Structure 1
């Protein structure tokens, strides 16, 4: 990832104005307040090949953790989304899926 792309992801966003019909922005955590991973970084953390994440993104129905397409070639994964996805796949022996 380029240095400029990292800087853009690390900037603190300005609060968005409240729009009628939408929940106020403070009711959701800001997207830029947590860590972000590139495909290669997440693959390393999950001990997967990056091609597995790419295959999951193009599968129908979609598989794998939620992602954001910054551009045609730059895909990012929020650490919060990845953690939530991992929790949803967790199996506790004797209790079944999701513990």
Structure 2
């Protein structure tokens, strides 16, 4: 089940989880390279096929301040979920990476404890 949250408190509508771009098995590029084919790397999911969150969106989902995410990113070594620095001012988080990070932090109490 994909991670989602509403951008507005009390709004039950989830953020859209639609791909930014569709991927195909092979893409042909003919403008500069005649009939060149680029194969998709099947070892990892295509990053463009995932939903993405801005720092503000993810902070709202996790119920933390944006400064917390910023502190996690700038810590040495970096903490928090994996991120992509698109530019100096734009940082994005893949929904798949965030969900995987959350699963790794999950604590399941033992029954015999």
- TM-score by shorter chain over 0.5: yes
Structure 1 outlier segments of 4+, above 4 Å: 13-16
Give the alignment's TM-score, normalised by structure 2. Answer: 0.65
Structure-2 change in CA distance of 1:13 and 1:69 (3 Å): farther
Give the alignment's TM-score, normalised by structure 1. Answer: 0.74
Structure 2 distance, partners of 1:63, 1:27, is: 25
Give the counterpart of 1:59 among 75, 78, 83. Answer: 75
Give the counterpart of 1:76 among 92, 108, 113. Answer: 92
**Superposition RMSD in Å:** 2.0
Give the counterpart of 1:11 among 16, 21, 25. Answer: 21
Unpaired segments ≥5 residues, structure 2: 1-18, 28-37
In our comparison, the structure showing a higher alpha carbon Rg is 2
Unpaired segments ≥5 residues, structure 1: 1-8, 19-23
Q: SS of the residue aligned with 2:87? A: coil
Note the alpha carbon deviations across 1:15-34, whole angstroms, 9 max, x for none: 5624xxxxx51232110111
**Would you tell me which structure has more helix in proportion to its own residues?**
1
Equivalenced residues, count: 82
The structure whose RCO (Cα within 8 Å, separation 6+) is larger is 2
Q: SS of the residue aligned with 1:92? A: coil
Q: SS of the residue aligned with 2:53? A: strand
